[in-house]
Amino acid sequence: MEEREVVIIGGGPAGLTAAIYGKRAGLDLVVLEKGSFGGQIIITNEVENWPGTQHTTGNDLAKSFHDHAEHLGCEFRKATVREIIPGNDRHVVATNVGDIAAKSVIIATGATFRRLGCTGETEFTGAGVSYCAVCDGAFFTDQDVAVIGGGNTAVEEACYLTRFASKVYIVHRRDEFRADRLVCERAACSEKIVPVWNSVAESINGTDMVESLTVKNVETGELRDIPLAGVFVFVGTVPTVSFLNGLLERAEGGWIKTDARMQTSVPGIFAAGDVRDTPLRQVVTAAGDGAHAAMAAHHWITAGTC
Ligand code: NAP
């Protein structure tokens, strides 16, 4: 079986930063990624809070992380992890392209978009329902769309969609957004953005493509039909952990519990970035987690303690 000092699962900001720090510390490591390198950030158009860079795109930032790791000689592999089999001095990472025995494993698999669960959401995914404004926004040029949610993602992506759509409803279940003040102020300046307060999506309707959204006012119970062509769902995220099959202690929602050094409940297995139980999920915190995890893995391998 292939043997490594460290296997990093996930090629987003946390995994790539762990790779950079791990490689610089002299660790023999491989980064596994099942999709494209960069993680969720690659579908974000505007990144304005990466220190030292006033404005960049998620794709450019992800590419710079990847190029940096590649320049240091990090090895990357396309692989889907099926499970991690814990051991005393070796953990086995089982993948669709073979198994790897590793002294240490860093889980940096991130999170994916939470589904809304309303009628029509699954049926119209790809036919008017989307989870990515950068990917699909241009399809709705001069048409009306709705964004569901009130967090940073929902309000930022609604602002982005105003470049294309004629009107962008933001359907939120409360009467104020959760998003940061600056983001809310930007949305308030747009004449194209129309908040629909105290409302949830009841059903997404159409024949072949989305034609309308039915929203329900949570205070009055009143139903309202909004004619539109697209519905963008941004109601938070869920951790990518299905391959763990119950391994590792988890917080509510499935987020992996770690200590301050990213150590999970199994010695030698670390978690970094959005997948872990953390109060802030940002590129900068994911990168910080990745650095901690790599240094903790180095300490575990060289000193034999966490
Ligand atoms: P989030 O902050 O968890 O917000 C999710 C939003 O969806 C909330 O407004 C929530 O409503 C709403 N929601 C949840 N379930 C719902 C349901 N079933 N029906 C209707 N609405 C529902 O998620 P996020 O916006 O994806 O952000 C995730 C993390 O990334 C956050 O920490 C965020 O700050 C960060 N982020 C940061 C930036 C940035 O700094 N520029 C950009 C994007 C994301 P309630 O408010 O009522 O709970």
Is the Cβ atom of 258 under 6 angstroms away from ligand 1? Answer: no
Tell me the per-residue pLDDT of 131-143, one tens digit each, with 9 for 90 and over.
Answer: 999 889 999 999 9
Is the Cβ atom of 154 under 6 angstroms away from ligand 1? Answer: yes
Active-site residue, selected from the candidate residues 60, 132, 184, 277: 132
Q: Please give the radius of gyration of the chain, using alpha carbons only, rounded to the nearest integer.
A: 21
Is the Cβ atom of 278 under 6 angstroms away from ligand 1? Answer: no
Respond yes or no: is residue 306 known to be catalytic.
Answer: no
Q: What is the pLDDT of residue 41?
A: 85
Respond yes or no: is residue 142 known to be catalytic.
Answer: no
Q: What is the pLDDT of residue 303?
A: 84
Residues of the chain with pLDDT under 50: none
Q: How far is the CA of 113 from the centre of ligand 1 (A)?
A: 10
Q: What is the pLDDT of residue 64?
A: 96
Respond yes or no: is residue 132 known to be catalytic.
Answer: yes
Q: Which residue's alpha carbon is at the smallest distance from atom 15 of ligand 1?
A: 235
pTM over 0.95: no
- Residues 166, 138: contact at Cβ < 8 Å? no
Q: What is the pLDDT of residue 305?
A: 60
| Pairing state between β 193-196 and 111-113 | unpaired
